[in-house]
Amino acid sequence: MIHRRSTTRLGALALVSVLALVACSDDAADAPTDTTDTTQATDATDEAPVTITLVTYDSFPAEGTSLNDALASFTASTGIEVELVIAGDTGTMVSKAVLTAGNPEGDVMWGVDNTSLSRALPAFEPYTSAEIDALDPALTALVPGGELTPVDFGDVCINTDLEWFTAEGLEPPTTFADLVDPAYADLLTVQNPATSSPGLAFLLATVAEFGADGWQAYWTDLRDNGVEVVDSWTTAYYERFSGSSGDGPSPLVVSYASSPPAEVIFADPPRDDAPTGVMTETCFRQVEFAGVLAGTDHPEQAQRLVDFLASAEFQQEVALNLFVWPARTDVAPPPEFVEFADVVDTPLTVAPEDIETNREVWLDEWTQIVLR
């Protein structure tokens, strides 16, 4: 999903960069006299083109991808010009949106996830997308008020370096209990949940697994077993994990269930098997949303962009660009994604309202336990 995603979702593993997309055309205002194609003609003859800003996180893929092509198609068909603003990692992006609610830095935001959903809602105008019926009901149910539209989902899980474990003659761990076994001491790198969205997702996975009164003891055991904590997903996966660049010391890392297909797709030299695996029992479901920012000067155009982000045309591009699953039920991910991505049938979850109520307390407790 990769997420899709430092504190992003999913990140797209080999695509961490800044996208500056400006697709030029005209907006709609004055209807033409020719009624042959009223929708497109209206968009194309407006005397004052409208530019709207899509705000997103810092692992949105680089310019030149098929996502860019899809956004250019949106401009060509609507006349609405789109500029993209990178607002930092997910946590930073949401904090900015909340602080600037009513006076936003953009018109639409992509990438709010369920770990910060309740906190982010005041920053958005309620809008139920015209594409809502095509989206997975389990995802839309997370926002019954319709303020935000689900656009993708992925699972944050422990990833394993299969080749490292084979070389060491050690079976990879499969359960939470294995991670505190002395046989796996000093092998796990996680992200700080106060600075990283995947890190927060993994903390919430332990809350879901052990309960609000039991996760603390588990993290005490993880600390005693030598867990390493870093600030971001990028640092954890690319610098500390032995299964990505091959240079890190940790054969276990918090990443995504969709990380293995990225290792195959971007492998150099090419390969047809995934060198990494996923501990599916540790997976926490992360859902990402897009929405119209409160105070936008262009609410109608912003709504049309949200609809497009949930459309089949855009949704079919998210798997291989963001390494996440599309929110639409009628869009199938490409075969190479399906072949190597682990499907998590029963992911761990925590209700958004429980996250909102307890997030700061849990973060304070985690800090005292792990970083004291």
53 in helix, strand or coil? strand
Question: 250 — phi, psi (to 5°)?
Answer: -105, 120
Cis status of the peptide bond prior to 32, with omega within 30 of 0 = no
Q: State residue 62's pLDDT score.
A: 57
Residue numbers in the chain where pLDDT is lower than 50: 1-47
Question: 213 — phi, psi (to 5°)?
Answer: -110, 0
Which run of H or E residues covers position 183?
none
Task: Name the residue among 110, 91, 99, 47 with its Cα closest to residue 324.
Answer: 110
The tokens describing 297, both together, are: 């000067």
Report helix, strand and coil shares of the chain as percent, to nearest 5: 40, 20, 40
pLDDT digits (tens, 9 = 90+) for 178-203: 999 999 999 999 999 988 889 999 99
Q: State residue 195's pLDDT score.
A: 83
Q: State residue 157's pLDDT score.
A: 97
The tokens describing 283, both together, are: 């997976």
Q: State residue 48's pLDDT score.
A: 67
The tokens describing 303, both together, are: 């709504």
pLDDT digits (tens, 9 = 90+) for 204-255: 999 999 999 999 999 999 999 999 999 988 899 999 999 987 789 999 999 9
Q: State residue 230's pLDDT score.
A: 95
Q: What is Dmax (Cα atoms) for the chain?
A: 77
Sign of CA dihedral 304, 306, 309, 313: negative
Q: Please, which residues bridge with residue 135 across strands?
A: 328
Domains of the chain and any CATH numbers: 38-154+287-340 (3.40.190.10), 155-285+343-370 (3.40.190.10)
DSSP letter at 225?
T
Q: 273 and 78 in contact (C-beta within 8 Å)?
A: no
Q: State residue 192's pLDDT score.
A: 94
Q: 206 and 215 in contact (C-beta within 8 Å)?
A: yes
